[in-house]
Amino acid sequence: PDKTFLFGPEYLARRVYQLSPPEDLALAMSMVRPSRRFLNDATMNGEVLTAGRYGAVRRVYVVAEDDEWKPAEIQRLMVSWNPGTEMRTLQGADHMPMFSKARELSELLMVISNN
């Protein structure tokens, strides 16, 4: 069976929500649940993620430049694994840009959707 993991409050505060408002961190901590890795998940195999399926949809990845959980260079590497994926950046965003840079993310999503 797949193993699960759970981020603790200190880890969340320092690495995931470090730039987010305190009230969003408090809410996130109340909603934390064990998660599992998707390494052996059927949706991650080559038969499901094909150019005809996954590749048929426009993809844009927003790099959270100040994400301490998944550093920007790792995010860029992930984008490079998916040819055709557009990349935008968001300065001053932690792993949860919808909290740490809500207005800027909203504006960026509007720009992306209008292109």
Q: Contact, 90 vs 64, CB < 8 A?
A: yes
The angle formed by the CA atoms of residues 46, 2 and 13, to the nearest 5 degrees, is: 100
Give the structural domain span for 64: 4-114
Q: Where are the beta strands (DSSP E) in the chain?
A: 4-5, 35-36, 60-64, 86-90
Q: pLDDT tens digits for 65-99?
A: 999 999 999 999 999 988 889 999 999 999 999 99
CATH number of the structural domain spanning residue 14? 3.40.50.1820
Q: Contact, 54 vs 65, CB < 8 A?
A: no
Q: pLDDT tens digits for 44-60?
A: 666 666 777 777 888 99
Residue 31 has pLDDT above 80, yes or no: yes
| Domain total in the chain | 1
